[in-house]
């Protein structure tokens, strides 16, 4: 028999199920409509932004600002910045949603650059930069403002101007250039390629440690030993810029997880290296004092440690640690990456290397051994090598070691081009983009042409607010002449004895870091120059 009650219940249940299904369909439809509506509004907002601000930087979306686009392009950050500049757009804004809706103003206008770099009371490093970079760079040259910065600057500017330091640096640079040439020769004899950026970084690390700290790491010894601290140093530098596109980096830092844990461990290794350097120097100073002598170290660290506790210019160990890290960034990385980019360019343009060689023969004579060549690499002789200086400047223009430099706006202001900036904004001038602007360098701006720096064979300087590789104004790089010196010594020597060829199949690109190293280095083979 058929149970009519059961049938009735089943029919009722079917009715309820049907109603539930109908409601579910309508709910899904409602959700879909909301999603479509929101997507349409977001799209319309983007289109409105483009219409209202044609080509004026990336679209600043609600809530997330420019974060998503910046994250997508982080691996090519310098070219992403470049893509929004033109002759009509020399300044634009982008926004990041953290920590407090940060507005960043990028500019390639030399008038703006001059205004920013000469008004350091309004455009300094500020808390935003110090918070992001301070746990690696501390309160040294790169992050300090006001009296702290002036204190560092006073000692460093005095020491960089001394003839004794210049002579000591030249001696170190020549010795290390010879070591580099020997490393290249060993690889050539063994018929093996070398990764040149690695060798260049080893050399510049050895050099800055001798000049700045009086320490010889021996990174270019024949066995090319591991220097574990350098891995940690590179890791820390590489992770810092990622904080720009990591909205939770402060949480990760507080919890010591993710990339922030890797970063903290790397910084710990760097700190141990700095501590070891400082402690060894303190022991040497104490040993000299114990026998009634004055310690006379020629290195820069000794000058920062010269004043006793209680003196106005006394530096404690934390401050000395910051000095060590800043000198490493300034002396090792910037020069090392420039040598790597120059190597790449002379492999692509061997005629430039040939001209450097011919100029070297004319100024220094022909040499058959590294030592006799190095003896000729004096300040005066290198000053006569005008083409080499021009070629280096052109490489530094196209491949600036520091591709962008930001300042914090310390008070509401208006830039010369009319851009309104608010306290707390970040203003960046962008050397990488400036080098590629036709309105600054002509229609051939993206070509490597040393001749653009020469007139009748004599080097012609340009405004430092146009060629911004070494900054300008009160914060102009104190190590500029020292950097040029090491670059000239090294390149004049190795180009005199070798020709270089790129190993085929390499990807040559940069890493988005504080500086602009090659992502995978540059592999080359060598032949004796005939």
* Distance (Å, whole) CA 334 – CA 324: 15
Question: Please, what is the Cα angle at 136 between 199 and 127, to 5 degrees?
Answer: 135
The answer for 214, left when phi > 0, alpha when psi is -120 to 50, beta otherwise, is: left
Q: Where are the beta strands (DSSP E) in 288-409?
A: 405-409
Report how far apart, in Å, the C-alpha atoms of 449 and of each of 108, 246, 487 are: 21, 39, 18
**Residue 409 pairs with which residues in a beta bridge?**
123
Q: Return the sign of the alpha-carbon dihedral for residues 131, 137, 142, 146.
A: positive
482 within 8 A of 169, measured Cβ to Cβ: yes
Secondary structure of residue 456 in the 3-state scheme: coil
395 has binding-site annotation: no
Give the pair of three-digit tokens for residue 226: 């591991």
Secondary structure of residue 219 in the 3-state scheme: coil
Residue entry with tokens 């804004």: 93
Give the pair of three-digit tokens for residue 243: 């904080």
Report how far apart, in Å, the C-alpha atoms of 165 and of each of 151, 160, 298, 518 are: 20, 7, 7, 30
133: Cβ contacts below 8 Å, ≥ 6 apart: 142, 143, 240
* Distance (Å, whole) CA 340 – CA 198: 9
Half-sphere exposure of 351 (CA within 13 A, CB side): 4
Residue ranges of the binding site: 477
Residue ranges of the binding site for heme: 477
């Amino acid at each position: 028999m058929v149970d009519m009650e059961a049938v009735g219940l089943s029919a009722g249940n079917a009715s309820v199920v049907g109603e539930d299904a109908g409601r579910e369909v309508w709910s899904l439809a409602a959700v879909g409509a909301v999603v479509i509506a929101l997507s349409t509004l977001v799209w319309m907002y983007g289109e409105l932004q483009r219409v209202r601000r044609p080509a004026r930087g990336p679209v600043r979306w609600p809530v997330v600002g420019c974060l998503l686009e910046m994250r997508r392009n982080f691996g090519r950050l310098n070219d992403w910045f470049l893509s929004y500049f033109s002759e009509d757009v020399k300044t634009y804004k982008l926004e990041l949603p953290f920590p407090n809706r940060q507005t960043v103003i990028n500019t390639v206008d030399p008038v703006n650059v001059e205004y920013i770099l000469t008004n350091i009371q309004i455009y300094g490093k500020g808390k935003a930069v110090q918070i992001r970079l301070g746990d690696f760079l501390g309160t040294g040259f790169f992050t300090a403002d006001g009296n702290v910065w002036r204190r560092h600057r006073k000692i460093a500017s005095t020491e960089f101007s001394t003839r004794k330091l210049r002579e000591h640096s030249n001696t170190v640079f020549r010795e290390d250039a010879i070591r580099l040439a020997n490393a290249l020769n060993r690889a050539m004899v063994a018929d093996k390629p070398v990764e040149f950026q690695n060798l260049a970084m080893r050399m510049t690390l050895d050099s800055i440690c001798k000049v700045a700290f009086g320490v010889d790491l021996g990174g270019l010894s024949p066995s090319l030993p591991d220097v574990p601290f350098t891995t940690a140093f590179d890791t820390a530098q590489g992770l810092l810029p990622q904080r720009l596109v990591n909205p939770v980096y402060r949480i990760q830092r507080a919890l010591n997880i993710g990339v922030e844990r890797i970063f903290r461990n790397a910084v710990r290794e760097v700190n141990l290296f700095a501590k070891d350097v400082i402690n060894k120097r303190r022991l040497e100073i104490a040993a000299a004092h114990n026998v009634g002598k004055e310690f006379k170290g020629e290195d820069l660290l000794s000058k920062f440690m010269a004043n006793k506790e209680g003196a106005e210019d006394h530096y404690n160990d934390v401050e000395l640690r910051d000095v060590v890290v800043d000198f490493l960034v300034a002396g090792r990385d910037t020069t090392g990456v420039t040598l790597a980019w120059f190597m790449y360019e002379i492999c692509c343009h061997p005629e430039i290397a040939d001209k450097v060689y011919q100029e070297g023969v004319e100024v220094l004579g022909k040499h058959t051994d590294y030592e006799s060549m190095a003896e000729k690499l004096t300040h005066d002789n290198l000053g006569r090598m005008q083409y080499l200086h021009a070629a280096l400047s052109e490489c530094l223009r196209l491949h600036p070691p520091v591709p962008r430099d930001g300042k914090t706006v310390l008070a509401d202001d208006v830039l010369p081009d009319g851009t309104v900036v608010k306290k707390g904004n970040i203003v960046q001038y962008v050397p990488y983009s400036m080098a590629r602007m036709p309105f600054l360098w002509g229609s051939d701006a993206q070509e490597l042409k040393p001749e653009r720096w020469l007139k009748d064979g004599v080097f012609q300087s340009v405004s430092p607010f146009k060629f911004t590789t070494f900054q300008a104004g009160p914060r102009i790089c104190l190590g500029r002449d020292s950097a040029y010196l090491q670059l000239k010594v090294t390149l004049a020597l190795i180009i005199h004895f070798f020709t270089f060829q790129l190993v085929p199949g390499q990807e040559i690109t940069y890493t988005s870091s504080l500086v602009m190293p090659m992502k995978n280095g540059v592999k080359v083979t060598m032949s004796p120059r005939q």
